[in-house]
Structure formats: structure tokens, C-alpha cells
Chain A
Amino acid sequence: EVQLVQSGAEVKKPGESLKISCKGSGYTFTSYWIGWVRQMPGKGLEWMGIIYPGDSDTTYSPSFEGQVTLSVDKSITTAYLQWSSLKASDTAIYYCARLSPGSNNWFDPWGQGTQVTVSS
């Protein structure tokens, strides 16, 4: 079974750093792009960026470029989303999802989500 399992909920203060993870299993991890999606409280989904575990090639949404960093450790089939200085507005649920191959891509499956709360 193809599966993405994310790290647990985090509570942080503004200005702190954070790295959350997404572990893939049940498929060749290095052959599929992994995307990250934000869902702010009561809002829709926003694509943040994608990373290719095979060579760590990344593409960021213009809205998130410079705000977050994507990385992978293919030896443990895990992708990461990282902030260097959190803001209260980063409070949201963050999902990782596998991008389908080829063109006209969709996201499937999705991780269970990681709740990030930033509050002083």
C-alpha cells in the first residue's frame, strides 16, 4: 500500500524554527515528486511546492518562495518542510502528497496532515 505518514502536531512561538516530516512507503520513493499543501483554519488548499526525491530538484509556489524550504533524505524515504522563523500566520495544517507522473498531475495519496500552531 502506498502511504505517506507525517510527523505529529507542533506548537511553536513566533520566531522559532521548525521542520516537519513526511515518510513514504510502499513505492519507489525516488521516482515520484512529493508536494506540500497548506490549509489554513476554515480555508481551502494552497500548493506550496514540490520536490523530487531522486535529485532534490525543487519548485516553489511564488507565494511561498523564500518562506519555506523543502528537502529530502532518500536514505530514509522522508521529505521535509522547514521554516527558519515562524509567524503566527503560519498556523495551519500542512499536508504532503505524492504527485502523479506525467502531465495534468493530481495528488494521491495524501499524508494525514501536520497541525502547526504558532502562538506567543
Chain B
Amino acid sequence: QSVLTQPPSVSGAPGQRVTISCTGSNSNIGADYDVHWYQQFPGTAPKLLIYGKNKRPSGVPDRFSGSNSGASGSLVITGLQAEDEADYHCQSYDRRLRSWVFGGGTKLTVL
């Protein structure tokens, strides 16, 4: 049972917009800790996708964006492309657990 809750799967057609949610509590996201996002292709390591207040590492397209609201964070992908098919993980910090925490991951399928 992950501390942060993500939907197991989402899907969308090419060109569409998809949103992946990451729900926490008042000891992590709700306590104003940032939500960070990682992209992971099968058989490879996670890669940083979004960090801090909606910042993207060099090379990440601006089709990817992140936002927070209350105790939840969201990853939004616009103009969906076949190459976006991957697993997406959210991460934050929990002050009660004194731990870095992850969501269970969401598998994105491009139809």
C-alpha cells in the first residue's frame, strides 16, 4: 500500500490530453511538499520528468506539466504521442513518516 495513491492505468488516443492524479494527505502533499514525477519505460530505470513547482529537466517536452491542489498532485500530458506509453510515478516527502514516498505508479496506454 503506497502512501501516495495513483490510478493503476490511464489511456488516451494520440493527440488527446490525459491527466494522472497523485493523492496524498496533510503530512505530505497537503503539507506543501512538492510532487515530482518520473517516467519509466519497461526494463529501464525511472527518469525524472517533472520536479519542483512544474519544472522540466532539459529535453523533456513542454507537453508534460505538473500541478498541485490541496493534498493532490497531477501530471498532465497534452498532444499525446505513442512514445509517451510508459509507467509514471509520483514522489513527495512525508513529514510524519520522515520518509520520501512514492505512488504505486500509473501505466499509460496510447490507444
Chain A residues in the interface with B (C-beta under 8 A): 35, 37, 43-47, 50, 59, 61-62, 95, 97, 100, 104-113
Contacts and interface: CB of A to CB of B under 8 A. Distances in A.
Interface of B: 2, 33-34, 36, 38, 44-48, 51-52, 57, 89, 91, 93, 97-105
Given A95-B45, A108-B57, A110-B45, A47 B101 contact: yes
Given A45-B89, A45-B105, A111-B45, A61 B52 contact: no
19 contacts: A35-B100, A43-B104, A44-B2, A45-B38, A45-B89, A47-B100, A61-B99, A62-B99, A97-B46, A100-B51, A104-B33, A106-B34, A106-B48, A106-B52, A107-B91, A109-B47, A110-B45, A110-B48, A111-B45
Contacts of B48: 106-110
Closest 4 A/B residue pairs (Cβ): A106-B36, A108-B48, A44-B104, A104-B34
B47 A110 contact: yes
Contacts of B91: 45, 106-107
A50 B93 CA distance: 13
Given A45-B46, A95-B46, A105 B93 contact: yes
A60 to B, nearest CB: 9
Contacts, number: 63
Contacts of A46: 102
Nearest to B97: A62
Given A111-B45, A112-B44, 19 more contacts: A43-B104, A44-B2, A45-B38, A45-B89, A45-B105, A47-B99, A59-B98, A62-B97, A95-B45, A104-B33, A104-B52, A105-B100, A106-B36, A107-B46, A107-B48, A107-B100, A109-B47, A109-B48, A113-B45
B36 to A, nearest CB: 4
Contact of A45 (B52, B99, B102): B102
Nearest to B106: A44
A106 B51 contact: yes
Contacts of A108: 48, 51, 57
Q: Which of B45, B48, B57 has the most CB of A within 10 A?
A: B45
